[in-house]
Amino acid sequence: MSSILKKSVLGFAAALALFGGMGCGEETTYSYFTIRLSLDPTLEPEFLNRVSACALEVTGSDEAQITVPCVGSNGKVVPSLPPADYSTSETTGQLQFILKVLDLNQKLIAEGKSPRYGIVPNGQTAASVEAKKIDTGTGMKPAGDGGAR
């Protein structure tokens, strides 16, 4: 073999060994969540007219903010919120999902917290959260939803 060909073959083999070994360690494992989102069905139309945006906050072993399309093109709250999908590469721990509803001034007016869900590597978990009206007059949340802030 000519010396140029030997150098090319050796260079290719070295590059293959160097780059071929990168990223060949552990495979990334994902855990998947489908979150059913809803607004308290007892919310009055006057209250719903104040809604301008919704967001889903993920807390716990992983963190994220997800925009939830809750207002239609007509400016009204959609009759049923679409489910949200979330995946994490965390393999242990728990996640909690918090649905936040904001008014035209970007003020929190309704909120719901899911239970904590365990992360199941390579698993699919169904979760749900319902946002309930926050009593903005006293700063207290309705009973059964965590009490005072």
Q: Supply the pTM of this predicted model.
A: 0.74
Q: What is the DSSP string of 27-56?
A: PP--EEEEEEEEE-TT--HHHHTTEEEEEE
> Could you report the per-residue pLDDT of 30-51, keeping only the tens digit for each?
999 999 999 999 999 999 999 9
Question: 51-96, pLDDT tens digit by residue?
Answer: 999 999 999 999 999 999 999 989 899 988 999 999 999 999 999 9
What is the domain class of 31-133 according to CATH? mainly beta
